């Protein structure tokens, strides 16, 4: 078997070169798609058709308010009754998977991409990516940031403005920076 492509490295969580032609072409395609999507009026059928063009998986009854931004789009999977309020950003350099009945407040940001922390490595350009998984019935409050590699359990609520850097279990309310569980939900 030959050497991995940069896309394969990216999806495997290996260090990869985001300036690779294939990845650049994919991002250019996504930017054209975003321009069309973000200029579409509130026509649910037209928006759903556009979402089907780019998302890796799209459940029934999606509702994503504009503006909406993503890196690739094809690594995003959402279940039924997904809702994202205004100005959400998905850096889907790895898979972003969300279950059924997931609601995102305005300005929610999902960061699948990240960079080396050592400056001499970071300035060389390559980066990493890790998946983000959000379980069924989760609610992510406005202006929250979900970092790479995080899993949020089903039925969990993340309070507005939280920065989620570690996994959050199912059936809890979690808030803060860094986000932490403050109580269980029945």
Q: Which two tokens stand for residue 60?
A: 């029934």
Do residues 18 and 112 lie in contact, with contact meaning Cβ atoms separated by under 8 Å? Answer: no
Interatomic CA distance for residues 39 and 47, integer angstroms: 10
Interatomic CA distance for residues 83 and 3, integer angstroms: 39
Do residues 38 and 67 lie in contact, with contact meaning Cβ atoms separated by under 8 Å? Answer: yes
Do residues 142 and 126 lie in contact, with contact meaning Cβ atoms separated by under 8 Å? Answer: no
β-bridge partners, 97: 77, 133
Catalytic residues: 115
Beta strand pairing call for 103-104 and 139-140: parallel
Do residues 88 and 64 lie in contact, with contact meaning Cβ atoms separated by under 8 Å? Answer: yes
User: What φ, ψ does residue 96 adopt, rounded to 5°?
Assistant: -115, 115
Query: Angle at the Cα of 106 (from 132 to 180), degrees rounded to 5?
Result: 50
């Amino acid at each position: 078997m030959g050497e991995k492509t940069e896309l394969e490295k990216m999806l495997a969580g290996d260090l990869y070169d985001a300036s690779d032609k294939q990845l650049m072409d994919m991002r250019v395609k996504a930017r054209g798609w975003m321009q069309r999507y973000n200029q579409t009026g509130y026509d649910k059928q037209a928006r759903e058709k556009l979402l089907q063009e780019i998302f890796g998986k799209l459940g029934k009854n999606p509702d994503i308010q504009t503006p909406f931004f993503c890196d690739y789009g094809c690594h995003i999977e959402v279940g039924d009754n997904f809702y994202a309020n205004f100005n959400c950003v998905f850096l889907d350099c790895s898979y972003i998977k969300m279950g059924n009945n997931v609601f995102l407040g305005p300005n929610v940001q999902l960061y699948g991409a990240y960079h080396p922390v050592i400056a001499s490595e970071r300035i060389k350009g390559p980066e990493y990516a890790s998946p983000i998984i959000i379980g069924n019935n989760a609610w992510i409050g406005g202006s929250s940031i979900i970092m790479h590699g995080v899993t949020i359990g089903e039925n969990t609520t993340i309070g507005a403005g939280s920065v989620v850097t570690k996994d959050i279990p199912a059936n809890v309310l979690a808030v803060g920076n860094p986000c932490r569980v403050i109580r269980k939900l029945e």
